[in-house]
Chain A
């Protein structure tokens, strides 16, 4: 107990209490100059029932879903290949380097390549005198989310594939299964928890992303994170910002719980 004291105290004081404050602020009244009046009100939540906000919510969900599906579909074969490769350590290092590279630099690299003044457009404009707008739409946001979070998906998948007993797959092959069948019937069910972990690691930060839609997305690709910041800074509406934060937090927790439960069931079977 005494060893964990400093740790628990810090997390309670600087994590749990601030989160609880935000949850409670979502039920308070907005004060005239941006702060909070300490009286109960549902205005924070009511202000969210607008078409523009629901659009942003829906857009955030579909952008994150598509990005997560692509990320996991790319990560699975990559992790599988790395785990079975003789160059395992080296390939893993090649995945860890982008994982540890500053995320703003990775966003910047795409702006440098695909931006209106970017390298590809410099070439296109030389030839045709026009430029193509690659960025500032939801698909550019999806591309950069996939790019940013792909290592987050590969690493847990690699860990779970690496951990399973290779002889199981060999046994399946000996017993007459073909490679494709062994992959789907033996490997996939055994790495369910890895798939769940990597899905969570991609979907949640994608849903809450701020920098990517802010720098790569246009007016039509703003996400929940951008709306929270707008409510805090431009609209100075703390209850609304808190209400969005509360909804995002609750969504996240329910999602994680359902997903983990489902995976546990699958693994026990």
Chain B
């Protein structure tokens, strides 16, 4: 068998492997029974989710709130840092790069534990605020690197041209660099958003009572008795993910 044929068969198997468990969950979200035996089509678990699951919605809005806020802060600081690293000349650049790679390499659980111990030590109560701080921290390097890769894409001589034509540093920044890097900024924002909504481990450590996010809620539902309501949430989140991925397709190249 040639590598071409073998890789084709393996790719098909991998895609089946990816989608079969998710597909089964989606199908059974419409099942009219509590046990995973198909009984008949029904919207029962969706009704349950929409009208009888206040705590899930509470967790959902916590997740969205934290995700929007931390993505905004991470993207703002990340974009400025990318511009600084790309544009300015200074000595400590190398250290900032090392500082950016470390959070990507060090396992999540270590970041979670160290933030927990840090917050306890400086006497900050665990809450949505500590989750926001944690999420901003792990999103920052991703945001910076995504914007930086976009900046590398465009011609530096445009900046020189702007200077030659009499633009100030500030004008060049707001009228040329930021608009030109906008696709990267958008990609960075969405990447931070997904990272934040998805994170379980770090949030697990820095969440306090009353500051449950959606992944934490799903975790406790899996641990303490599974209800097919999870199938309904999973389906809705999956649809959200698909819509997000399709709309982000153009920007994928800045992320990878």
Contact = CB atoms under 8 A, between A and B. Distances in A.
Contacts of B136: 10, 14
Contacts of B92: 1
Given A11-B103, A17-B118, A211-B201, A106 B22 contact: yes
A3 interface: yes
Contacts, number: 253
Contact of B7 (A6, A78, A110, A111): A78
B7 A7 contact: no
A102 B117 contact: no
Interface in B224-247: 226, 230-231, 233-234, 237-238, 241-242, 244-246
B165 interface: no
Interface residues of A, number: 86
A236 B28 CA distance: 41
B57 interface: no
Interface in A204-219: 204-205, 207-211, 215
B40 interface: no
A66 to B, nearest CB: 17
Question: Which 10 pairs show the lowest CB-CB distances between chains A and B?
Answer: A208-B107, A3-B84, A7-B81, A109-B21, A77-B7, A18-B118, A18-B114, A4-B84, A81-B7, A183-B3
Interface of B is mostly: helix
Contact of B107 (A10, A102, A207): A207
A156 B21 CA distance: 24
A25 B118 CA distance: 11
Given A91-B11, A245-B113, A11 B105 contact: no
B230 A108 contact: yes
Contacts of A108: 25, 218, 222, 226, 230, 234
Given A97-B245, A179-B3, A211-B219, A15 B102 contact: yes
Interface in A91-137: 91-98, 100-113, 117-119, 122
Interface of B: 2-4, 6-8, 10-11, 14-15, 17-22, 24-25, 28, 35-37, 76-78, 80-81, 83-85, 87-88, 90, 92, 96, 99-100, 102-103, 105-111, 113-118, 121, 133-134, 136-137, 140-141, 144, 194, 197-198, 200-201, 204, 214-215, 218-219, 222-223, 226, 230-231, 233-234, 237-238, 241-242, 244-246, 249, 252, 256
